[in-house]
Amino acid sequence: MLRLIDRDWTLELLPEIGGAVARLAWRGIEILRPMPASQVPAPIDAVRHTCAYPLLPWSNRIRDGQLHWRGAVYPLATNSPLDTRDSPHPIHGIGWQQRWQVIAHDSRHAALGYEFAARGAEAQSWPFAHRGRQDFTLAGNTLTLDLALTSTVASSVALAGAVALTVPSTGSSKTNSPAPIEVPGGLGWHPFFVAEADAELFCPVRAHWLADDQRLPIRPEPVPAAWHFPHRAQRVSSLVLDSGFAEWSGHAQLRRPAAGVIVTIAATLPLRHLVLFRRADAPWIAIEPVSHMTDAFNRADAGETGTGTQALAAGATLAARITLTCRVAHSDGAKADMR
């Protein structure tokens, strides 16, 4: 475990368990759901019990474990053994199931990374070689997380695992050089924020994805009237949901009067999709900034626009920054900060 301490912050990281966060506290206040002590140390599949974990090289579900991309179909292994409902749909990428290496570390900064070669059996979980990186920095009242996904697919290699690949004929007998390979990519972060009974969320989003019973998107709709958090603060305790949202502003605010703290979440492009997840009576809410909608790559391959899918050429990097800024919630006038 790595521990970072900077004046008001304490951050504990688990590089060997999916590059996850084990604890994040500000001035002694737990900002993220603490990982149960019984889970530390833990096997790598305990990452879902941590405070937060990275989503690389995709977020949320890929329908039926079938990735359709540029005329090929890639079967993907399931990766959520603890939830049989998810078993047909690989979820949240593979970064959370990797053992990350420590690239750099001091009291206020840590860089973690992993390399995925997509060779042999591991190509069944994702067929495209890539590199993942997280940089955590503590400064003042802000935690900064820089996420990066770099394609390391060679432009001339045969991609493993494709069921079928259709190359349009040009009608020419000339031998052409291999076309540059572009692969789908996405990223995000899955933090669980502590939310007491009086906690309130303000989170401007414009559209909600109606989903089926497998939590796969059907169509976008206006945000239901019962969820007024896009316009004004709403008690987290009134929310029970596992839903994707589009056209997120890139900002959210969680006010926790009982703890005396306001947490502001900000994210750069391309993180303009959002997932909110909370179970009934849970003392937390997951606020997940992500670059794309659920099952985005398949929908983009079918011609849908606005999915957030990114096509990465060999050597290209997709990067984003997330910040958490904390400040004291004063009883006087604190409500004025929440729309």
* pLDDT tens per residue, range 321-330: 999 999 999 8
The share of the chain scoring above pLDDT 70, in percent, equals 85
Q: Are 285 and 227 in contact (CB under 8 A)?
A: no
In the block, which residue shows the tokens 């050089």? 177
Global model pTM greater than 0.85 = yes
Q: Does residue 58 register a pLDDT over 80?
A: yes
Q: Rounded to an integer, what distance in angstroms lies between the CA atom of residue 287 and that of residue 119?
A: 33
Q: Rounded to an integer, what distance in angstroms lies between the CA atom of residue 25 and that of residue 33?
A: 10
Lowest mean pLDDT among 87-91, 263-267, 310-314, 318-322: 87-91
Residue 336's pLDDT is 44
Residue 97's pLDDT is 93
Grade residue 88 by pLDDT with cuts at 50, 70 and 90.
Answer: confident
Residue 276's pLDDT is 98
The residue among 127, 273, 281, 274 whose CA lies nearest residue 197 is: 281
* pLDDT tens per residue, range 19-41: 999 999 999 999 999 887 765 55
Q: Would you call 106 helix, strand, or coil by DSSP?
A: coil
* pLDDT tens per residue, range 205-252: 999 999 998 899 999 999 999 999 999 999 999 999 999 999 999 999
Residue 164's pLDDT is 43
| Other Cβ atoms within 10 Å of 36 Cβ, number | 11
**Average pLDDT over the chain, rounded to whole?**
89
Residue 255's pLDDT is 98
Average pLDDT of 44-62? 91
Tokens of 286: 């997951």
Q: Length of the chain in residues, anyone?
A: 339
Q: Does residue 166 register a pLDDT over 50?
A: no
Q: Are 111 and 54 in contact (CB under 8 A)?
A: no
Q: Does residue 130 register a pLDDT over 90?
A: yes
Grade residue 332 by pLDDT with cuts at 50, 70 and 90.
Answer: low
Distance separating the N- and C-terminal Cα atoms of the chain: 39
Listing DSSP states for 21-34 in one string gives EEEEEETTEE-BPP
